[in-house]
Structure 1
Amino acid sequence: MTIELRAERPSPARLVLHLNGRLDAVTYLDFDTTVLPMMGELPQGVTVVLDLAGLDYISSAGLRSVARVRKATRALHGHTLLLDPQPQVRKVFDIVKAVPVSEVFASTAELDAYLDRIQQRMIEGNGE
């Protein structure tokens, strides 16, 4: 099985990565060699969204790849958010506590509502 990755930039401050297939010991290197160079081109305060709706399986190697993305995003003072993980993938994240539950969203609408709240807080001067 392979990993398919599609990147989307809906705004300069947001990168959405759509994953399909398996992120495992066979495919993690393809993921890393595609995504990590993108991280160097992102601005401070970026939000990276990993859309996991099409991800069928994640292994410990895949978790390490996600951790690398999170680390690179944190270095930019940004956020990494997970969108719509399938139940089996979400269970892996729950088991290893790899991603805080506040960074996992069930739908694009839920994610957009969260991002709207964050931006509104920033506008009102109550942001981080």
Structure 2
Amino acid sequence: MEKNNRVVHHPILGELKIKGLVNFTFNDQVFSGLEGETIAAALLASGVRTLRCQEETGTPRGIYCNIGHCYECRVQVDGRTGVRACLTPIRNGMNVHSGEKLPTPFKKEGDTL
């Protein structure tokens, strides 16, 4: 984990106080991050850029605003869907899954894209 890949100042969460390492899983792969770091920041520092897929097209999505406004970083955390990875601190043993391509809530049967 290189320091130049870490988000050490977050406009909403403030300064990252470097403590110990925390292990968590993302899509069944084990990652380590700094205690107090967000899911998005820990994954970004580990080289992960895609956090989910867009509901209609399946195109990859990752961190966009990194302050909780855009919802592009939605993931599933410990079975809870729609969690914003940019605002959620990692915890030891946390189980994170990317948002896979889901049916759009706006499309009706017979509609085309």
Fold equivalence (TM over 0.5): no
TM-score (normalizing by structure 2): 0.29
Q: Relative CO higher for 1 or 2, CA cutoff 8 Å, sep ≥ 6?
A: 2
TM-score (normalizing by structure 1): 0.27
